[in-house]
A and B are shown apart, each in its own frame.
Chain A
Amino acid sequence: MPGAAVVRRGDVVTRTEVGPPVARPRDRRPHGPDGPTVVRRMSAGDRLRLGARGLTVRKGRTALSALGVAIGITALVGVLGLSESSRADLQAQLDALGTNLLTVAPGQGVLGDDATLPDESVAMIARIPTVESAAAVRKVDATVRRNDLVPTSETSGIGVVAADLDLLRTVAATLREGRWLDDATSRYPAVVLGSTAARRLAIGSLDGGVDVWIGSRPFTVVGILDPVVLASELNEAAIIGTTVADAVSDEDLPPSGVYVRVDPDEVVATRALLGRTANPAAPDEVQVSRPSDALAAQDAATRSFTLLALGLGGVALLVGGVGIANVMVVSVLERRREIGVRRALGATRGSIGGQFLVESVLLSLLGGVAGALLGVALTWGYATAQGWAIVVPWRPVVAGLACSLVIGSLVGLYPAMRAARVPPTEALRTA
């Protein structure tokens, strides 16, 4: 044979068989003249490492492109976390106050005139077996003044009511200072002020005895209430005993409202009975309401704001996703050479596409994790500042991470496809 081939033709001498023999597991041997070619799939660890490598090369770009998703997830987790915390707070409040308080008030007659409740309505309501306690309040036509120099027409927005002694227990009110009315003080000129009423009258403390003027006589302030959540009208009231009220007012005082605390399991059934019981003659004129519903409605209103904020977070997330897609497309263009070299090393279209897909998912997930941490921190900080119970928003965190995972895979598909289509000859193209 002509030429200068060192190895004789026909000899089965491959390079791997030259040099010191190296022990290798059989299946890892890439080929053999008489054995099948064995190529295993890349391990998941290798795929992850390869994807992560692309992110560590350009750290600044990685951080910036993950930012969009991070903002979106922060908004998501923060908003959901805050609303969850505030709801937990509300729930705690409702649990403490109970949702079994009902109020009975005279509505309007058929002609639009103000209706009244019959005098016996309180006693009749109290006789319903599922009612735990009932207390009436009666409006007194008088004004409260700090002293007798203030004209009697000055109301300061404070109403005077005469209350049954059971009122405090029924509405679950507490005293900031002093005492509630009792059998004795309800017969004498003594008054308990609602929290707002006390502030308007500039009464901070009861030390040394404080008087206010109701009608034409001084009343001793014996107590000041804490804010009453479920009967907020009491905050702006000066509450006196029923007996002394008759002395202040010339006329008979019909009940202007009855507070009813019922068995928590029988609220709905009892509510249906109250109208007929309070005013059998005109049940339609009686208004029965449940103050805790107002709190729940308030919650529903907050929830629609939450939805709006969630929508905004979703938009941020979407924009962040598009940003990642952009960066990845640019990255594919910049790395055509690297792709070519990898193809020459034996990468299939699938492994190239996979590399870029993993990269995009990791990028998005990076933003997701950062956003989730920030969102939790935000929730924690705000809840602490508000004195709410701290609720770690697990569900939003999990949802946020899942979102970023899905977004990363979706927006990574197109760049991955483009990367997979880069031809292997790209490696040898002379630039």
Chain B
Amino acid sequence: MTVVELHGVTKTYGTGPAALTVLHDLDLGVEAGDYMAVVGPSGSGKSTLLHVMGALDRPSTGRVRFAGDDVTAMSDAALSRVRAVHLGFVFQQFFLLDGRSALENVADGLLYQGVRRPERLRRAREALDRVGLGARAGHTPTELSGGECQRVAVARALVHGPRVLLADEPTGNLDQASGAAVLDLFDTLHEEGATIVVVTHDEHIAGRLPRVVSMRDGRVEHDTCPVPPSSAGVTS
């Protein structure tokens, strides 16, 4: 089953002669259970691709579908709902709220789905257990190491059971050991069935993952495991 489909996606910033096209007629599909890396030098368009794949931005032309729903024409509120339900984000700089416990931070991942607080906290505890930080639920980000913070962020990203986990340079702010721990966590989650997309410029990380999509100048230069066009095609 294809969870994210990009079909003929172009993203252009600005208009007229100054217009900058960052993505060129891009086709990409993410299958359920995929564990993939999006790599490329800076300026290759991988951040923009992440925006589009993460329903944070709409393409200029083309179609994007999440679990079969076409989001191209969705309202901002509907797009927010897609993010709330289908997507989980892990950021390079963690973006946890200071002064709030790991548990509260993770529970925030459920806030915008209208899940009530006791249920949020219960599920946050489960998610922390999954990332191996159940014992540190009461600690604030300043009391946690960088690696632990990123694992809390991962717990926040998956607490609502998203279809896809999107990670933007998840090890970029971590030392070697902590970074490896986060990647090990991704491996485990993947073995449990999670769909994970890691955006990175680090070829070494990309090499670990089963599927690698290389970007260059706004196009997919190489895909080690392309989704067959039939499954990514537009069905109306």
Contacts and interface: CB of A to CB of B under 8 A. Distances in A.
B95 A425 contact: no
A31 B112 contact: no
A24 to B, nearest CB: 8
A42 B57 contact: no
Nearest to A57: B99
A4 B56 contact: no
A57 B224 CA distance: 47
Interface string A39-58: 11111011000100100110
A427 B56 contact: yes
A304 interface: no
B183 interface: no
B33 A346 contact: no
Interface in A407-431: 423-425, 427-428, 430-431
A217 B96 CA distance: 99
Please classify how large the interface on chain A is, using the bins under 10, 10 to 19, 20 to 34, 35 or more: 35 or more
A2 interface: yes
Interface in B140-173: 156, 158, 160-163, 168
A9 B92 contact: no
A7 B193 contact: yes
Interface stretch (B80-88, B174-182, B214-222): B80-88
Contacts of B207: none
Contact of A430 (B67, B92, B108): B92
A5 B95 contact: no
Contacts of B210: 3-6
A16 interface: yes
A195 B229 CA distance: 109
Interface stretch (B20-28, B115-123, B131-139): B115-123
Contacts of B73: none
B163 to A, nearest CB: 6
Given A3-B224, A14-B163, A424-B83, A345 B109 contact: yes
A345 B225 contact: no
B182 to A, nearest CB: 17
B40 to A, nearest CB: 15
A345 B111 contact: yes
A9 B76 contact: no
A123 B205 CA distance: 117
B189 A342 contact: no
A37 B68 CA distance: 13
A26 interface: no
Nearest to B114: A40
Contacts of A343: 56, 80, 83
Contact of A350 (B57, B77, B211): B77
Interface in A327-380: 337-338, 341-351
A148 B60 CA distance: 112
Interface string B35-63: 10000000000010011001011000000
A14 to B, nearest CB: 6
A22 interface: yes
A431 B168 CA distance: 14
Contacts of A28: 113, 115, 119
Contact of A6 (B108, B156, B191): B191
B5 interface: no
A349 B83 contact: no
A30 B84 contact: yes
Nearest to B80: A348
A18 B34 CA distance: 15
B97 A338 contact: yes
A348 B116 contact: no
A56 B47 CA distance: 34
Contact of A10 (B1, B83, B113, B195): B1
A341 B91 contact: yes
A203 to B, nearest CB: 74
B49 to A, nearest CB: 11
Contact of A347 (B97, B112, B158): B112
Contacts of B231: 9
A427 B93 CA distance: 10
Contacts of B194: 15, 18
B71 interface: no
A19 interface: yes
Contacts of A17: 193
B91 A427 contact: yes
Nearest to A50: B111
Given A7-B32, A39-B114, A2 B191 contact: no
A12 interface: yes
Given A4-B210, A346-B113, A349-B77, 19 more contacts: A3-B225, A5-B35, A6-B190, A9-B33, A30-B161, A37-B85, A39-B85, A57-B99, A343-B83, A344-B56, A345-B89, A346-B112, A348-B76, A349-B76, A349-B80, A351-B112, A427-B56, A427-B89, A428-B91
8 contacts: A2-B225, A13-B193, A15-B161, A40-B115, A348-B112, A349-B76, A427-B95, A430-B47
